Amino acid sequence: MEQLFSDPILLARVQFAFTAFFHILWPILTIGMSIFLLVIELIWLKTRDPDYYYHARFWSKLFMLNFTMGVVTGIPLEFEFGTNWTRFSSFSGEFFGNVLGFEGAMAFMLEAGFLGIMLFGWMRVTSGIHFFSTCMVMLGASLSAFWILVANSWMQTPAGGHIENGRFLVDNYFDAIFNPNMPPSFSHMWVACLETSLFVIGGLSAWYIHRGRHPAFFLKSFKVAFIAAAAIAPLQIILGDVQGRDIYLNQPVKGAAIEAHWETNPPGSGAPWNMLAWPDKEREKNAWEIQLPNVLSILATTSLDGQVLGLKAFPVNDRPTEIGTIFYTFRVMVGIGFFLLGLMLWTLLAWVKGKLTLEHIGDNPLLLRSWVCAIPLGYLATECGWTVRELGRQPWVVYGMLRTADAASPLPVTGVAVSLTAFVAVYLFLTAVFLLFAARIVRKGPDLTMTLPRFDLSAGNGAL
């Protein structure tokens, strides 16, 4: 603690981590829920079942609340680049600044521009225009994730340019945008947004069913969420494996830190995987460890005896320092991924046995409670994943090019401490406001007496 309040760079890192980890809670849901709203509206247009119209209106309230929080908490992040990280901005501004500009002008404006029609245009525009607006909101939310992951993945594996006079100059924008880490990172994060949103929607639906509030209505959203999550949960595990192989290929020291792997395995001998361990950074070994032989070689190289570089293969000042945090947050993320997959298999078995009908769904209180308990797990897994991603890149802010210590602004400790304190106070207030309004929406539930929008008769019943 004493070091924290005497080191302005550490304080600046804590401030960015706090604001970024708080901000990320909201776009996760808006990205995933925008796709859910699109599917629900499509079903409503195809079936004309009023329940799906009421679902669209109900879930869009939570979407709007999350969108607002995302906007309010996202703006300070961009200002931090100009206040706490001016040297980083000077080094990478030609590319990094442009990408953030693309995100604002291309993705955010698209999403915000059509949001009003999606929320308030049900009775004012044709069904086709409304559906088009929902598509644009979904596209804008996903484009936003794309550009943010482009910027961050470039910090992990910078490409497409060269350094000249202390600045990164772009030679090839395509190579910079589609740097090696971008495809696996974007796909892994985008699917994480879907998975988190599906378990929020499914968990809230299970909560209503368990309490006997509109069970027939929420059984529909529960089944839609389950069907999608049954495909997404195993896909996310596969994408996580792809992301892991990319780390060993392009950031091997981060891979070694994730597994607390100190010694490079000799040729012909497989690297063991530390299922559990207690890393001892000072002694450059684990105080204790529970290992599975050869498994790390298989995970990293798909070979029983593939060579995996250990932490000792890298200079001490090029290694991440928070190895224990990286090691255990990675395992929490992976554990949640497999728990959610298990919940999918359990739910599938219940469906096969005919237990997901209106008559029998109430006979599965443990299953419903498990879905309710799963609501925060996607958020926790995502935050753990970003912890691994960002701490594993240290001591670099731009991997192999610019160290974090050389990227911060020359600010006094008091200046950073005051702004950090202000952020904590404001974000606690925003959290209270969000919980107040979210609780009101959930307590009130759906309005099943709303007037249905009339269809565009010139296009025919149910036409888009």
Dist CA 394 CA 322 (whole Å): 9
Lowest mean pLDDT among 46-55, 83-92, 101-110, 332-341: 101-110
Token pair, residue 411, equals 């600010």
Q: Would 269 be classed as within a structural domain?
A: no
Q: What is the reported pTM?
A: 0.92
Whether 276 contacts 261, CB under 8 Å: no
Question: Which stretch of DSSP H or E encloses residue 55?
Answer: helix 50-83
pLDDT at 464 over 60: no
- Residue 229's closest CA among 194, 261, 270? 194
Torsion of CA 425, 431, 437, 440, to 10 degrees: -120
Environment class of 442 (CB within 10 Å of its CB; exposed 0-12, middle 13-18, buried 19+): middle
Task: Tell me how many domains the chain contains.
Answer: 1
Q: Would 456 be classed as within a structural domain?
A: no
Q: What does the pLDDT look like over 11-58, one tens digit per residue?
A: 999 999 999 999 999 999 999 999 999 999 999 999 999 999 999 999
For 112, other C-beta atoms within 10 Å of its C-beta total 13
Residue 418 vs residue 461, higher pLDDT: 418
Whether 430 contacts 73, CB under 8 Å: yes
Q: pLDDT band at 368, cuts 50/70/90?
A: very high
Dist CA 92 CA 127 (whole Å): 45
Q: Would 157 be classed as within a structural domain?
A: yes
Percent of the chain's residues with pLDDT above 70: 97
pLDDT at 4: 65
pLDDT at 456: 52
Q: Would 457 be classed as within a structural domain?
A: no
Residue written as tokens 């776009």?
27
Q: Would 451 be classed as within a structural domain?
A: no
Lowest mean pLDDT among 41-50, 98-107, 284-293, 319-328: 98-107
- Distance of alpha carbon 166 from the chain centroid: 32
Q: pLDDT band at 82, cuts 50/70/90?
A: confident
pLDDT at 329 over 60: yes
pLDDT at 176: 96
Q: Would 285 be classed as within a structural domain?
A: no
Q: pLDDT band at 108, cuts 50/70/90?
A: confident
Which range of residues forms the domain containing residue 426? 2-264+309-444
Whether 214 contacts 279, CB under 8 Å: no
Q: What does the pLDDT look like over 269-312, one tens digit per residue?
A: 999 999 999 999 999 999 999 999 999 999 999 999 999 999 99
Q: Would 50 be classed as within a structural domain?
A: yes
Dist CA 297 CA 305 (whole Å): 6
Q: Is 166 left (phi over 0), alpha (psi -120 to 50) or beta?
A: left
Dist CA 200 CA 222 (whole Å): 10
pLDDT at 47: 93
Q: Would 437 be classed as within a structural domain?
A: yes
